């Protein structure tokens, strides 16, 4: 069986390495051209792994364009894994892989079909996400389910830690599947239609923070958009700051302050515990790591030393 790989995101590297280390032969790896990958959150360099294992690497702009279709015809794959790829694959490309293309979606399908499922699961305050391995079809995330893994969302998770768990599940599910495919099995079950709308895509400008939300919602929003994504942001005294990390104060902490008002510094001998408390629509959070548009970073003692008490964070300059 001639097997190929399509991906550019870090979530696919662990599974790809797992296949190669176990001796499953790959005919080719297809990835995004570097200038395009540089514009995508979570992009990874697949060249190092391909050089290590002697796998041909092809860089493309769009899986559906004429150049890519010609490439797929040339390498003549029986099967392709499409892991960590954001472009919807059109029927003309799907039909060039004989047995089919297999993708993964970071949710328990059919729940949370669409874009950025991990980010949305955190923003919505969900307590569980997952990963689904499926045959790719014409619809968005509608193909037959091959395997699924549930992933609990703890209060300590961020988008980065959840994608690490997604990457591990990609590897585990694919390594379980490949021997079955090589034995001419084609596992899969139809997805039920749960009536949910597809999740919309997210853009960097969607990271603007609404301080009128409850503190738990602000906390979830920040951890949903932290690195490797562009981050949640807000303005203080005319200066735009990206908020990379914050802490959630427990219920019962209330302040006579308006949403977005800086209550005061949090001081501790433990550097990582220092920050600035900010009131929310209900409760408060503690800012732990910030960066302005000029690249100035504030965390720890440098952050708690700022004289910001009474200053109000806003959603515009």
User: How many CB atoms neighbour CB 192 within 10 A?
Assistant: 9
CATH code for the structural domain at 3-182 = 3.40.50.170
Task: Return the pLDDT at 316.
Answer: 83
Task: Return the pLDDT at 140.
Answer: 87
* Tokens representing residue 121 in the block: 């699961």
For 63-109, what is each residue's pLDDT tens digit?
999 999 999 999 999 999 999 998 999 999 999 999 999 999 999 99
Task: Return the pLDDT at 193.
Answer: 84
Task: Return the pLDDT at 253.
Answer: 78
Sheet holding 3-6, edge to edge: 57-60, 28-32, 3-6, 79-82, 100-105, 128-135, 145-152
> Which CATH fold would you assign to the domain 204-314?
3.10.25
Q: Of the candidates 5, 51, 44, which has an alpha carbon nearest to the alpha carbon of residue 27?
A: 5
Name the segment(s) of the chain with CATH classification 3.10.25.10. 204-314
Residues lower than pLDDT 50 in the chain? none
Q: Of the candidates 207, 216, 236, which has an alpha carbon nearest to the alpha carbon of residue 284?
A: 216
User: How many CB atoms neighbour CB 204 within 10 A?
Assistant: 13
DSSP state, 180? Answer: H
**What are the backbone angles phi and psi of residue 182, rounded to the nearest 5°?**
-70, -20
Phi-psi region of 154 (alpha: psi -120 to 50; beta: other; left: phi over 0): beta
Name the segment(s) of the chain with CATH classification 3.40.50.170. 3-182
Task: Return the pLDDT at 281.
Answer: 95
Task: Return the pLDDT at 254.
Answer: 76
């Amino acid at each position: 069986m001639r097997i190929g790989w399509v991906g550019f995101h870090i979530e696919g590297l662990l599974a790809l390495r797992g296949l190669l280390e176990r001796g499953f032969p790959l005919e080719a790896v297809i990835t995004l051209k570097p200038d395009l990958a540089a514009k995508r959150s979570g992009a990874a360099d697949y060249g190092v792994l391909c050089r290590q294992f002697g796998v041909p690497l092809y860089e493309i702009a769009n899986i559906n364009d004429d150049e890519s279709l010609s490439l797929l015809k040339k390498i003549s794959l029986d099967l392709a894994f499409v892991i960590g790829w954001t472009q919807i694959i059109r029927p003309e490309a799907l039909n060039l892989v004989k047995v089919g293309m297999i993708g993964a979606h970071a949710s328990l399908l059919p729940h949370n079909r669409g874009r950025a499922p991990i980010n949305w699961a955190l923003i919505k305050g969900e307590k569980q996400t997952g990963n689904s391995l499926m045959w790719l079809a014409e619809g968005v995330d509608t193909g037959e389910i091959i395997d699924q893994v549930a992933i609990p969302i703890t209060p300590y998770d961020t988008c980065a830690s959840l994608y690490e768990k997604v990457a591990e599940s990609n590897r585990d599910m694919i390594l379980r599947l490949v021997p079955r495919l090589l034995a001419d099995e084609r596992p899969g079950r139809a997805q039920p239609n749960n009536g949910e709308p597809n999740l919309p895509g997210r853009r960097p400008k969607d990271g603007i923070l609404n301080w009128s939300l409850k503190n738990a919602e602000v906390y979830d929003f920040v951890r949903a958009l932290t690195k490797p994504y562009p981050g949640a942001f807000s303005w203080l005294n005319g200066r735009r700051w990206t908020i990379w990390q914050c802490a959630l104060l427990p219920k019962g902490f209330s302040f006579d302050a308006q949403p977005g008002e800086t209550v005061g510094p949090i001081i501790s001998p433990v550097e990582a515990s220092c920050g600035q408390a900010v009131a929310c629509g209900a409760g408060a959070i503690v800012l732990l790591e910030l960066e302005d548009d000029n690249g100035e970073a504030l965390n720890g003692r440098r952050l708690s030393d700022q004289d910001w008490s009474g200053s109000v964070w806003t959603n515009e300059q």
